[in-house]
Structure 1
Amino acid sequence: MAHPAAATPPDMLTVRDVLFGSTPNQVMVLRTTQDNLGQYYAEQRDTILIVIDRATGREQQYPVYRMRSEADFDIDPMGDRRIARAVPLANAVDPFALLTAAGGMPLIGDGDPPAEGWNTGTAADVDGVMVLTFADGRTARAPMAAILQQMDATLQTTAGVLGDYSRIAPIGTADLLSGRTHACRPISARRIDDRSGTAATAILRVDCEEDGDAGISLLTVLTMDSAADGSAAD
């Protein structure tokens, strides 16, 4: 059956992080990507597990799940009805298995009010330094340039985990995830204090807008400033 006539849209690949769990040494994040594959009648979504070291911020990424949906023109000639199919990934991991093995606990992400183990703070750019401040006076900080550099790096790691896949345009995943950290701003500041014996860890969400939408929404781990700086202890 012929498809409805329509010009192809630009290739769009959005990325959003949500918190998944914490362990004494790590923060675990689930990253979901949504790719329109350069067309109106299909898309691909991937989920990646990101394991972040709470002390250093170093991360490892693992594929979890891939799904493709395509219009079923036999059922709906206009293409509004889609059929979703899982795409097998040979090296996929089970996030709950890794969380269990590491002795961790699941976290509820950006809930309001914050879930147990969370503290809400504010985030402000002070002369190029992102400063997170919490209710007890404790702070975390990092140069905004360094945060954006880390975001660029983690997106390229994600591109490597995703790999290239079939699409209409001759463009690679790494190209689609390059140069995406512009018009970025802090959205929220959270703190993990999970009573594991590990010092509290600050989490910053940064959104980067494209055409009015947050095409990129990532979580970054920041080390809390020392209590000796004049703030209260955990």
Structure 2
Amino acid sequence: MSKKCHKHNEPCEITPMQQIPLHDKNIDLKKTENPCPIFKVPVVLAETKLQIVVEADIDLDPKATEIKRVTKNVFLTQVKLIPVEFEKASDEHCHHIPGFFKVKKAKLFVAGHIRKNIEYSSSDCQGTLHDRIVTIPFSGFAELKHGDFLISPIIGVSDSGKSYFLNDNNGEVPRLDKNFFQNLVRYNEQPYGELIGANFFELDFSPKTVKPEGEFGVLREKIVMDLFLKVLQVQQFQVHAHRVLPVLDEGTLG
């Protein structure tokens, strides 16, 4: 039977269980043949910092006498890479690969919003803190040049062809009712963005000067935000590797 607690303020005693040390040993790993596998993985095309400047007026209801705390987060709704300059893609022997191009320059379109949580006090004596949540949208674009890319984006171009025929009975007249069509469609992996972080520099103030302990109902803010982004694209890579298998102790089964 467990021991009873004799006093209300004293903790009950429990019996601990001693842990037994276990022996650990590394599992042997054996290399097998070299298959040179092909991986299709996200590749970091660029890591960039964008500076975004916004200004907004925020209504406060009830009116404030003092701003206590402001916290911010950034949310992205769009990161799109639009190529504008290209060069032909080449293999390891510098031979051009038909239909594929490396991007040398592109426009990066970014859109999203800043979410602000404003805590402030009103003129109420011993009143509670008030909370105001607002979203401030932003949008813009930046230019990524050849030197900004860690690895160039790859774009495959689609093509179409049309062939005409002569009249069967008169070789001087074309047949307008007979054509041959060929369409080649290459589908590309869309480059996309990933949020790394953001650094905010902000000035908040009342547009109208107020006396100490005076009330103001509008908060004007000027924000400079450094936005840190990754731009990625799914690409294929072939690597020289060895398949590794764990070797277990098999006892009499080996």
TM-score by length of 1: 0.23
Higher percent of residues as strand: 2
TM-score by length of 2: 0.22
More relative contact order, 1 or 2 (CA 8 Å, 6+ apart):
2
Higher Rg of the two aligned structures: 2
Higher percent of residues as helix: 1
